[in-house]
Structure 1
Amino acid sequence: MTSSATVAPGVPEAVPVVSVKPVVLDAPERGADLRVRVSAPVTGSGLPVVLLAHGFGSSLDGYGPLADHWAAHGFVVVQPTHLDSRTTGTAAGGPHGPRLWRSRVDDMRLVLDRLDELTAAVPGLAGRTDHGRIAAAGHSFGGQTAGVLLGLRVRDPETGAVEDLSDPRVGAGVLLATAGRGGDSLTPFADERLPWLRDPDFTHMTGPALVVMGDRDELPLTVRGAEWTADPYVLSPGGKSLLTLFGAQHFLGGISGYEVAETTDENPAHVALVQRVTLAYLRHALGVDGNGWRAVRREFADGAHPLGRLESK
């Protein structure tokens, strides 16, 4: 499936996409095999790769508006199904609960380790990817997962340990409507049920990233309102950009799927903007072509864009 969203200057036109699911990676230590979806354009070579981590409860079938758009415009998009997916039957309060954050990072590392195997499962894709240009993206819980690969540190709620789990194979990130700092920013519900949110450290998240937030994202996880989701930008080192969507809630107009019931703020214009800005950013951050990103920045330069605000540091 291709997207009809307008692309920025310097970004190639959409081409047809081939998508294969599930590609199953055996993972005995995980307790269940890892099921993955791989989408790619039918033409092109030297294709960069995006690992897309879904939000809590979703699966490899989610985020079509993003996965389809990125693939149609030259990216190989790899979507693992994490253990918190509703399709696995694993609940946050179950035996994997406190380790869910870490199991997601391990899933992404497994995908990176076996990328050749995954791409070989897509007819005609073998040999067409560029393993030197890899980004990690994620929405909500998936944003934290992507952030860890860029240097975000999470205090393990079971051991108290804080490890550097960044991966040098990941060159950039896109963090969509994801969690901010812990401590007194959290609601009692979040502190009790999602202990991996208690003490994140963004000061080591040195990799380049685009953070996307909605200014009406009122999550039950924080007492600070939508500004909490800007923390990954505000609290991390430079080399970051922040796209704020005016009037958008947690699903940023509908990025998690086509016609999904969970979208409370359906807005095709917001989705199209997220598609366009993230695509231009990924091409820029991975060194494919910076013209699209420069065009996007010019578009927002006067601060009068009707849909949002873009800032960088």
Structure 2
Amino acid sequence: MKTKSNIRVGISIGDMNGIGPEIILKSLQDSRILELFTPVIFANSKMMSFFGNYFKIKLQFHGISSADEAVEGKINVVNVWKENVKVNFGEEDKKIGGYAIKSLKAATQALIKKDIDTLVTAPINKNSIQSNEFNFPGHTDFLAQELKGDSLMFMVSDNIKVGLLTDHVPVKDVSSKINEELISKKVSAIHESLKKDFNVREPKIAVLGINPHSGDGGVIGKEDDEVIKPAIKKFVENGKFVFGPYAADSFFGSKNNANFDAIIAAYHDQGLIPFKTLSFGKGVNFTAGLNRIRTSPDHGTAFDIAGKGIAESSSFTQAIFMGISIFKNRMEYLELTKNPL
């Protein structure tokens, strides 16, 4: 029987030709962590033993057929497949990508059924995962389909939190994707997440401009004046602390980000370049806005160092504990806000 102190953390294996298996093992090698949570890896117990031997990280794995069989005090491995799989570190391989998706789908179903409390996803390769059965640019879009709510890529660390209006969208299409409805949806998701997932009572949110210098009054584009400002005005009229649009080039250098609980960037690189510069190795990718909790490290498969035993696991470890913290905060929030009658 699961207790509040026995949080089940599901882990999808990611691309096995990348650094995913290594950082998972390194994050679990301290036996004391089993007192804090119960790991449930979605892969194959023989494969996990192979990785343990390869990286000289001796761990004991408890093979199970489904997540609801997970045992406290053990590193549980749900055997998603039975066959042996040949791994070639550093290589892009559609077959390996297929196993990454098998792991992700099994973990997501366990999350939906509440057999696990949170999900941490190891990195995948966006090319290797594409198939007739899986046609998503990444984890976030797939989870948005499978789980309830409006997903939002929310990059978080102890010192900075950055959300995106658009994520995996070509730069040439960014401005056409952004409208008042999208801004309203994304800002609302950030606002709600800050309150229930991070215990921020009155969130202060900054919105970055789409164009250089936020358009310079229309000289360098009209989107900031015609789309972003009216959307922000509606939040202010409803009593929310939402400010902007701010010129992105000077916002982080001036440390203005320290004045806000979260920043919303217009597109991927506008938000992730400063975030990773300030928080690399300590940052976590959290999919906010959904009815279940998913986190991941702030980096990719790192094929160039895969199999060399030198991958840094700090971001993956942080993703595990960030997920646990968010789960606890969300349970507390639900308890405090539920109708006593």
- TM-score, length basis structure 1: 0.34
Max Rg structure: 2
Q: Specify which structure has the higher proportion of helix.
A: 2
TM-score (norm 2): 0.32
